Structure 1
Amino acid sequence: MDVVDSLMPYLVHLVVLYVSASVIYLVYKFKSTAGTRNLPPGKKGLPYIGETLDFVLASRRGTPEKFVTDRTTKYSPNVFRTSLLGEDMAIFCGAAGNKFLFSGQNKYVTSWWPNSIKKALMDPSSVDNSSKEESTKLRAYLPPFLKPDSLQHYIPVMDIMAKEHLDQYWSPYDQVEVFPLSKKYTFALACRLFMSVEDQDEIEKFAKPFALATAGLISVPIDLPGTTFNRAVKAGRQIRKELFALITKKKNEILEKGKTVASDLVDSMLMDGMTEVEIGNKIVGFFIASHDTTSTAITFIVSYLTDYPDVYNKVLEDPEKFDPSRFEGNGPAPYTFVPFGGGPRMCPGKEYARLEILTFIHNLVTKFKWDKLNPNEKISYIPSPIPEEGLPIKIQPIITII
């Protein structure tokens, strides 16, 4: 009897906890099914987590498309409803879906970032700002730095840095891992062009936390010690700390030297009267957009040039000569291949990315020939596609090939 009496408070707590959890689940279930008459077919999954775990697991296994195809088969080939990253979402599929989104900007849809991504990357004081407002400001500020005249000035810098990178990190070795090296190149280039940072130690202060932050963007948004999302939030904090120190330093230099001509993106923002927080948020966005996806593109170009030697031979043929035939062909059908988005959602850095990739690949194919060490390497998506072993290749200088 004494034992039962001593356990009674704990049993009461367990019953209360069970009843509370049941009530919360029933309320969630009611809300998730109420008012769904005009919503696409689908389900929200578990409370808060939604179907994020299913998506993350499919991505880690290298089959993120299975998450989509399973639901298009079950619900609709055009659109389905789900819950990812703690947010309710509708996923549009196929060319018709792309056309609807690109033509419906600010009419049916608007720019939006999940709160988990804003929490990981943005300053806490601006997390409540609307995604549309932040996106509009970001897009409005970019064009002067991405217009043809500006891009023309970037090409020599891209070319020099590509040559230096290959000489330092590729030439001394007969085997290299493409993905980490391409990230090193694209990140260093962004540091140089956006912030005038060239010192390798300074670059590393940003590179390491950026890697942690991007790895946690597509994860279950539970901010508890040891979780991927928690590491992303901490990394975001470290990025902002380093950025604010750099911005303050550049601000003092402008005031002390009376600078009137901006030498980079940060200078220009300071001269336009932006606050440190505004600049920090925008620079983080620029870095995510400018280096993570381009390094992935470079990696897979290197991979596919090995898989398709006939394409490699065309790339290598007369690399110093402009050949219009390389741009011939009708290309894919409209709205079926949209790596840079479309309409008002077209990536403003499209030409920057193309030039960065082309400049690097030009230098690479004129300097080396290569073979993959593991032709069957598995691909994971976290969030961009990544070769699990970093795409190790055996390289051979062109000059030694007979």
Structure 2
Amino acid sequence: MAMSINVSPSLALSVLGPLCALIMVLIHRESMRRRSKKKLPPGEMGLPWIGETIEFYKSQQKNRLYEEFVQPRVAKHGKIFKTRLMGSPTVVVNGAEANRFFMSNEFKLVISSWPSSSVQLMGKNSIMEKQGEAHRLLRGVISATLGPAGLEGIVPEVCKSVKLHLEKHWRNSETISLYRSTKVLTFTIVFECLLGIVVEPGMLEMFERVLEGVFAPAISFPGSKFSRAKNARMEIQKMLVDIVRSKREEMERRPESGQEEGMLLSQLVAGLIKGEISEEEVVDNVVLLVFAAHDTTSFAIATTFKMLAQHPNCYSILLQEHVNIMSNKSHGETLTLDDMKKMTYTWQVARESMRLFPPIFGSFRKAVSDIEYEGFTIPRGWKILWTAYGTHFNQEYFPEPMEFNPSRFDAPIQPYAYLPFGGGPRLCAGHQLAKINILIFVHYVVMQYDWSLLNPNEPVIMDPLPIPSQGMPVKISPKLN
């Protein structure tokens, strides 16, 4: 006769609880044992969660991330070192070979890893968050508009915007804030030349409120930077959804209306109509593009003028280049894409300015599996940070790196050493648009105005992106023709 044994639930729990706890302890010990066999990069992890975040932010706010944070640790630990930033164990890498390794292994060994606040404000459906095929699809749509054929049509529109801006804001002024002026201009160019959206009063200020929160803690208590930014983002989203839906109705009613040259919004909405991308993806990528194409470009323009003011010999060479270009054109004839190609020295000046003052300090990646690199193991889930400063200020790639020398770009630069626009699959899709914005603005200013910076040694600070601390005030006077 079979016997049955009744076990009370309380007895079962009293046995299973400690057993589960023991199993978890054993698993944790085994994980620690395996990890202990891995050779982690040298470095200091600092306090739990906080790590070295305070030192990182302090140096970044003064725009001295390389001098005060990266360089001392490289001197102590070498080109690759570990730390803890914003709660995450992080490996900081330096050098062109490290940049090449991690950027070329995007989607394979590493993925983009932005702070939660940035993701929420830029949009989880933006290209910066997309991986693999989804990223390639969206990048293809954007690149098609910003390729040679698209830029050919955009150049005359940018020229028109620059001339109108100078006439409206510069013509009757004696001093202007160069940085603020270029922010207004580049914002207008993105909206009107690239997206076909008329800029209304208050739109720039709305986007600026979003920018204030992109690196702030993602805490939504009333009055916080992130909370204010999130509210502004909701306003922007509502505005853009209305614009996208209106554009879709127009293109479905009149398909030929989607063929405008250079209109990125038309290309995105065409993808929406075909079912290739969603409405959320259209909106989020427009938001990202506005930030990527105007904030960094306006800073690059400002630092270009800063360097020209400090180096009058370089300004003389640059000015002559523009005089020569106009000598072959009739009065009132606008610039073309071919004229941009003739501005070789001007672009060298801009490139050297962006080397010394990178518009972006670098970017975070996350390891999707354990990575073996340079004899070290970077564990799965750890962050990897590359910085533009790690090569831009290194004499191995740029002799006498703190000197302003546009002619260093006469010779080819080692791949992955010069990274003002990033690199690899995540190279900024709008870098060619930034180039023509810079060249066209410089052209019209130097040909139409005498100018001088009121404070040529004005410091650059981070708030949260790099900006001239005083807005770069400039004394101007129209040239007499």
Q: Does 1:58 align with 2:43?
A: no
**1:95–1:227 distance in 2 versus 1, CA, 3 Å:** same
Separation in structure 1 between the aligned mates of residue 55 and residue 42 of structure 2, nearest angstrom: 18
* Equivalent residue number for residue 22 of structure 1: none
* Equivalent residue number for residue 192 of structure 1: 192
Which structure has the larger Rg? 2
* Equivalent residue number for residue 373 of structure 1: 454
Matches within 5 A, 1:138-153: 138-153=138-153
Structure 2: which 5+ residue stretches go unaligned? 1-30, 326-341, 349-408
Q: Which residue, out of 201, 205, 213, partners 1:216? A: 213
1:93-134 residue CA offsets vs partner (Å, 9 max, x unmatched) = 1223222223333333233333321112216xx59x964256
* Equivalent residue number for residue 271 of structure 1: 270
* Equivalent residue number for residue 237 of structure 1: 234
Q: Does structure 1 conserve the Cα–Cα contact (< 8 Å) formed by 2:321 and 2:343?
A: no
* Equivalent residue number for residue 182 of structure 2: 182
Give the C-alpha shift of residue 211 in structure 1: 1.2
Secondary structure of 1:80's match? strand
* Equivalent residue number for residue 132 of structure 1: 131
Q: Does structure 2 conserve the Cα–Cα contact (< 8 Å) formed by 1:53 and 1:220?
A: no
**1:130–1:369 distance in 2 versus 1, CA, 3 Å:** closer
**1:73–1:215 distance in 2 versus 1, CA, 3 Å:** farther
1:208-235 residue CA offsets vs partner (Å, 9 max, x unmatched) = 1221222322334443333333333232
* Equivalent residue number for residue 75 of structure 2: 73
* Equivalent residue number for residue 248 of structure 2: 251
TM norm structure 2: 0.68
Q: Which amino acid aligns with 1:336?
A: A
* Equivalent residue number for residue 103 of structure 2: 102
TM norm structure 1: 0.80
**1:149–1:288 distance in 2 versus 1, CA, 3 Å:** same
Bigger shift: residues 232-241 or 178-187: 232-241
Q: Which amino acid aligns with 1:243?
A: L
Bigger shift: residues 212-221 or 239-248: 212-221
**1:139–1:393 distance in 2 versus 1, CA, 3 Å:** same
* Equivalent residue number for residue 162 of structure 1: 162
Separation in structure 2 between the aligned mates of residue 212 and residue 369 of structure 1, nearest angstrom: 34
1:294-338 residue CA offsets vs partner (Å, 9 max, x unmatched) = 111011111111011111111111414356874772054443222
1:336-388 residue CA offsets vs partner (Å, 9 max, x unmatched) = 22212334333222222111110111111111121111233221123432111
Separation in structure 2 between the aligned mates of residue 358 and residue 32 of structure 1, nearest angstrom: 55
Separation in structure 2 between the aligned mates of residue 32 and residue 233 of structure 1, nearest angstrom: 40
Secondary structure of 2:291's match? helix
Give the C-alpha shift of residue 173 in structure 1: 0.5
Bigger shift: residues 248-257 or 355-364: 248-257
* Equivalent residue number for residue 318 of structure 2: 315
**1:252–1:162 distance in 2 versus 1, CA, 3 Å:** same
State percent identity of aligned pairs.
28
Q: Does 1:292 align with 2:295?
A: yes
Bigger shift: residues 175-184 or 371-380: 371-380
Q: Which amino acid aligns with 1:167?
A: E
Give the C-alpha shift of residue 38 in structure 1: 4.5
* Equivalent residue number for residue 430 of structure 2: 349
Q: Which amino acid aligns with 1:265?
A: L
Q: Which amino acid aligns with 1:250?
A: K
Separation in structure 2 between the aligned mates of residue 153 and residue 74 of structure 1, nearest angstrom: 52
Separation in structure 2 between the aligned mates of residue 227 and residue 35 of structure 1, nearest angstrom: 39
Give the C-alpha shift of residue 390 in structure 1: 0.3
Separation in structure 2 between the aligned mates of residue 266 and residue 93 of structure 1, nearest angstrom: 37
Q: Does structure 1 conserve the Cα–Cα contact (< 8 Å) formed by 2:82 and 2:89?
A: no
Q: Does structure 2 conserve the Cα–Cα contact (< 8 Å) formed by 1:56 and 1:218?
A: no
Separation in structure 1 between the aligned mates of residue 44 and residue 32 of structure 2, nearest angstrom: 8
Matches within 5 A, 1:16-31: none
**1:336–1:272 distance in 2 versus 1, CA, 3 Å:** closer
Q: Does structure 2 conserve the Cα–Cα contact (< 8 Å) formed by 1:340 and 1:350?
A: yes
Please tell me the root mean square deviation across aligned C-alpha atoms, in Å.
Answer: 2.9
Secondary structure of 1:246's match? helix
1:254-275 residue CA offsets vs partner (Å, 9 max, x unmatched) = 3444555343222222222233
Give the C-alpha shift of residue 154 in structure 1: 0.5
Secondary structure of 1:224's match? coil
